[in-house]
Amino acid sequence: MTACFTGHRIIEQDRALEITQKLSKTIESLIERGVKDFRSGGAIGFDTVAALKVIEYKEKYPDIKLHMLLPCREQTKGWNEYCIRVYEYILSHADEIVYISEHYYSGCMHARNRALVNGSDVCVAYCTNERSGTYYTLSYAKKSGLEVVLI
């Protein structure tokens, strides 16, 4: 079984601990239900937290895999140094890295989001805004028949 993550780039500071704890419990529950493959889109925020949690769980469950489905090689353009270092750490611990496109183009983020959903069984989402790429991905997951777990 495969699960993908989608969520906002900004996590409200007063909810960060609660969201991280719920995400941890959700990932462990999915692993116990047979999910072995986890997909992240590599964006700042929820995607990053989810990928780091999967890396953490790989120590306890060495048979799980982290697949990074990234929109383009320039995804980190404009990011600060700290976020880039965390991103590089995640990529160094990923079991697979797939780039949707070599270069940025209008629509590569949506193509990445659809790729995350396609082939997944479960979508774990942190969505508080209906006018966002996260909401688009969540809607696409629902239309595609995925089980949705809201954080």
Each residue of 23-61: b (16+ CB within 10 Å) or e?
beebbeebbeeebebbbbbbbbebbbbbbbbbbebbeee
CATH 3.40.50.720 fits 2-150, yes or no: no
Q: Dihedrals φ, ψ of 97, to 5°?
A: -130, 125
Give per-residue pLDDT as tens, 102-118: 999 999 999 999 999 99
Whether the predicted pLDDT of 9 surpasses 80: no
pLDDT in tens, 29-46: 999 999 999 999 999 999
Give DSSP secondary structure letters for 68-127: EEEEETTTTTT--HHHHHHHHHHHHH-SEEEEEESS--TTHHHHHHHHHHTT-SEEEEE-
Kindly list the domain boundaries of the chain, sorted by start residue.
2-150
Residue 128: exposure state from Cβ atoms within 10 A (0-12, 13-18, ≥19): middle
Residue 12 has pLDDT above 90, yes or no: no
pLDDT in tens, 42-101: 999 999 999 999 999 999 999 999 999 999 999 999 999 999 999 999 999 999 999 999
